[in-house]
Structure 1
Amino acid sequence: MTYKVSSSEKLRKSGAEAETKALLYLMNFYPDSQDIHYFIVDFFNDLTGMNRTAKILWDLQSKGAKNSSPKSIGKELVTLFKNFISEINFKAYILFLGGVTSSFRIDNSKTSFGIENIKKEALELLIEGLIEECKNKIYIPNEQIKIDIIEKFISHVTFIIDEKKSTDYVRSIIKMHPHLMPEDIILEAIFNEIRDK
C-alpha cells in the first residue's frame, strides 16, 4: 500500500491558529480523545490522530475562515475525500471550521454534527463545491468523482464549528484545581507557544 503526497502549502498565521485549535480539540473535546495517543501534523491532512498501536486513524482538516459558505466548505473537503478513497482506512473524517454562514446549519446551536444538521440547499452546494475541487486536483481520479461515492463520503464527515477562545482549549488540557488555573494571559501565551512550534 502506498500513499502519494501530491501537494503542500505554506501555513499562514490564521491557518496555524486553526490547526492548533483543531489539535487541542482532538486531544480534549472529541468523543474518542482518550483513544488518540499520537498526532501526525501536516502529512495525511492538517492533522491525523493515531491510537497506541497505529491501527486506528482520525483524519482532520481545519479551515480558519469565520464565515464559510456551503460551496467553499465543499471545496475544503477535498483532502478528506482523497483519504476516504485511498487504501488507508480512517475511523473518522473531521472538518474543523472557524465558522459558517447562517444558510448552512439547520440547528445553529449544534457545533458538532453530521449531514443531518445541514440544510438541503446547503448540502447541494457543498457537493457541488467538492465535485469542482475534485476535478481541479490531479490526485483525485475521475472515476472516483461519482455522486454515490461522494454522498457516502459526506455521510461519514463530522463538522465541527469552533466557537471557543484559544484560552478555552488550553484550559481544558491543564486540568488543575480551578483556583490554581493561570490567568488568560498565561493561557494565551501557552497557546501561542504550541501554535508557533
Structure 2
Amino acid sequence: MYTFKNTEINNKKASDFETKSLLYLLGMRGDSEEIEIVTVDCFNDVTGSNTDFSKLWDVQSKNHSNLPPSKIGESLFTLYDNYISTINFYDYVLFIPKLNREYLKDPSLNIYSYENINEKQKKGIEKKLKEKINGDKSGNTPTLFSDFLSKICFVEDNYKISNYIKNMSKFKNKKSISEDIYERIFVEIRNAQSALKNSYIEKEMIKNPVEVLKFNRHIKKSEIKTLLISRFVVDRFFPFQAYP
C-alpha cells in the first residue's frame, strides 16, 4: 500500500517552479515522449507517468533562494521516502535553482548525478538527510541510503519561462510569438495546476499507482498541447482577443 502524506492542503496557488518542473517532464527530457500524464502533489510535487502507470518519474521541486548542503539534504527527503516505498519509480529528480558552482566537481553541468557534488558538501547533505529520515541526530545510516543517493538526478532551472512552453509546442513559427504570450500561457497552466490541489487526499491509500487517477489531481499531456494550439491560433488570427 502507498499512503499519501505531506500533501499541500488547500494550497490555492501553485508556484512557478512547480509548473516549470511539470513542463520539464513533458517537454525537456530525452524521454519526455514517454510521459503522458503528470500527477500534482500526490506522490510528490509532480510525478510523470506513461499511459498505464507502469513507469513513473518522480520530481521534488525546491525554489529556495539559497540552497546550502543542509537544505539540499532536507529537500531529498520526499524522494527518499518514495525510493523505499512499495512503488517503483523510474527516476528521482530534484528540480532546483542553480547551485553554488563551488559545490560541483564539474560546474559546467546543469543536469548531474550525486557524484558531481564535492565531498565537503556531500557530508552536509547526508548529515541533514539522515536527521530527517531518522528523526534524530544519531547519524545512523538509513536503509538503502547510499543506493538512493546514487539514483538522484539534480536538474537546475536554467531557462526562461518561454523555453519551457516552446519545448512543449510543435508550432513552427515559435519566434513570431511574443514573450508576453508565452508568459500568459504559463500562468494559465500554473493556475490549472494549482486548482488540482484544492482537494484533500492526505492519508488516502492506494495499492497500484494507476489508482491515483480517482483523485483527479492529474494533467494529461494532450490537454496541455490542446491548450497551446488554441492559444497560438487565437493569437495569430485574433490578436486582440483576450484570454485568461
Instruction: Report if TM-score (shorter chain) is over 0.5.
Output: yes
The C-alpha deviation readout for 1:67-93, integer Å capped at 9, x for no partner, is 311221111010100000011100100
Q: Can you give the 5+ residue segments of structure 1 that lack an aligned partner in the other structure?
A: 138-144
CA distance in 2, matches of 1:183, 1:6: 40
Whether 1:182 and 2:172 are equivalent positions in the alignment is no
Q: In the alignment, which residue of structure 2 is the partner of 1:56?
A: 55
Instruction: Assess if the C-alpha contact under 8 Å between 2:58 and 2:92 holds in 1.
Output: yes
Q: In the alignment, which residue of structure 2 is the partner of 1:21?
A: 20
- Specify which of 136, 141, 146 is matched with residue 151 of structure 1: 146
Residue 42 of structure 1: CA displacement? 0.5
Identical residues among aligned pairs (%): 34
Superposed CA RMSD: 2.0
Q: In the alignment, which residue of structure 1 is the partner of 2:90?
A: 91
The C-alpha deviation readout for 1:117-172, integer Å capped at 9, x for no partner, is 111111111111211222349xxxxxxx6256211101000000101111111122
Q: In the alignment, which residue of structure 2 is the partner of 1:7?
A: 6
SS at match of 1:6: coil
Q: In the alignment, which residue of structure 2 is the partner of 1:142?
A: none
Q: Can you give the 5+ residue segments of structure 2 that lack an aligned partner in the other structure?
A: 193-244
Q: What amino acid is aligned across from residue 76 of structure 1 in structure 2? A: S
Residue 176 of structure 1: CA displacement? 1.8
Q: How many residues align?
A: 188
Instruction: Assess if the C-alpha contact under 8 Å between 2:98 and 2:110 holds in 1.
Output: no
SS at match of 1:192: helix
Q: Structure 2 length as normaliser, TM-score?
A: 0.71
Instruction: Assess if the C-alpha contact under 8 Å between 2:134 and 2:142 holds in 1.
Output: no
Q: In the alignment, which residue of structure 1 is the partner of 2:71?
A: 72
Task: Pick the structure with greater CA Rg.
Answer: 2
CA distance in 2, matches of 1:170, 1:110: 22
Matched ranges for 1:73-152 at <5 A: 73-136=72-135, 146=141, 149-152=144-147
Q: What amino acid is aligned across from residue 160 of structure 1 in structure 2? A: V
Instruction: Assess if the C-alpha contact under 8 Å between 1:99 and 1:162 holds in 2.
Output: yes
Whether 1:165 and 2:160 are equivalent positions in the alignment is yes
| TM superposition outliers: structure 1 runs of 4+ over 3 Å | 10-13, 178-181
Q: What amino acid is aligned across from residue 168 of structure 1 in structure 2? A: N
Q: Structure 1 length as normaliser, TM-score?
A: 0.87
Specify which structure has the bigger relative contact order, considering alpha-carbon pairs within 8 angstroms and separated by 6 or more residues. 2
CA distance in 1, matches of 2:94, 2:158: 14
Residue 12 of structure 1: CA displacement? 8.1
